[in-house]
Amino acid sequence: MGTLEQVAADLPNFPEDVISQWIGYYAETEGWPPPEPLDGRWKDLLANRNLDYWRSLSWKLESFYPPSLELIENSSSLIQQIIGFHAKGESNNYSAYMGEEAKTRFHNLLYYLRVHGNLPCPAILIDHNNKYEVMDGNHRIAAYLLWEYWKDEAPFQKEPFPVAVSKEIQFWVGYKND
């Protein structure tokens, strides 16, 4: 059995897209299953939650207007740091961790949004009573929010977007089964 098949067997509630976007790469590079207790990269990636927690979620593909999402504090803070670094050149924890290499990635997301009017794939969220934790997709959400907040500013007005940017963006949302 291959690594991704093992992840799917261990997390049968996870949609294939969630595995391939979020966990698959790390399962193949860091090894699967993650250690118990979690450590290293897995500890951060899985938000210090064991596989039993992740098995307890149900998933839905939903559409939201990104500025309307109420994010938990940690997710909101990280997205604001991403925007601050890319839009204003601010030094912050994100810029210290990601460095200059993040600029190309972020600009590619803005370009994709400009050309396609949407994001390349759904971000992955966990619902906490209608507040959301971003597990994967911080850069995508930040790119959308930057466009939304700054779309009327001069840098964005030099060349109009060739297509309208969608107000309904898809997200994978994990809900805790009680």
What would the pLDDT profile of 49-97 be if each residue is shown by its tens digit?
Answer: 999 999 999 999 999 999 999 999 999 999 999 999 988 888 888 878 8
Residues 83 and 49 grouped into a single domain: no
Residue 135 in 3-state DSSP?
strand
Q: Which domain holds residue 27?
A: 3-55
Q: What is the mean pLDDT of residues 105-134?
A: 94
User: DSSP code of 140?
Assistant: H
Distance in angstroms (rounded) separating the CA atoms of residues 105 and 25: 17
Is residue 99 pLDDT above 80, yes or no?
no
Domain count, the chain: 2
Residues 28 and 78 grouped into a single domain: no
Residues 43 and 93 grouped into a single domain: no
Of the pLDDT bands very low, low, confident and very high (cuts 50, 70, 90), residue 154 is low
Looking at residue 101, its pLDDT comes to 80
The whole-model pTM stands at: 0.92
Looking at residue 94, its pLDDT comes to 87
